[in-house]
Amino acid sequence: MKEKKSYQSWTISDEFWEEIKDKIPVKKRDPQKKYKHAPGQGRPPIPPRKVLEGIFYVLRTGCQWKAVPRKYGCASSIHRYYQEWVAAGFFETIWAMGLTK
């Protein structure tokens, strides 16, 4: 008997990632704001693919943001990215891309 492979619906396929990676909004530094660190210093950002998988995890499982597994990054950071990407229209963009296929 064949073993079934476990598929998690929040993981992103390489094909899908190649289509959307250029659509992810890039946050720019506000020139009017005074920052504690120079650009490139401080904690490195979470890779966008991990962030998106963390967001999909919450949306598919219905769990609270604080219950996101640590392998996706800090829950509050993932939630912040979600809010920024919603405001930038990222999810509407990838939804519209899916409708055209």
Mean pLDDT by 10 residues, the chain (101 residues): 62 90 88 81 88 95 94 95 96 87 69
Report the phi/psi class of residue 89: left, alpha or beta, with left for phi > 0 and alpha for psi in -120 to 50: left
pLDDT of residue 41: 78
3-state DSSP percent of the chain in helix, strand and coil, to 5: 55, 0, 45
Q: Which amino acid is at 21?
A: K
pLDDT of residue 49: 95
pLDDT of residue 6: 59
pLDDT of residue 71: 93
pTM equals 0.81
CA 97, distance to chain mean position in Å, is 17
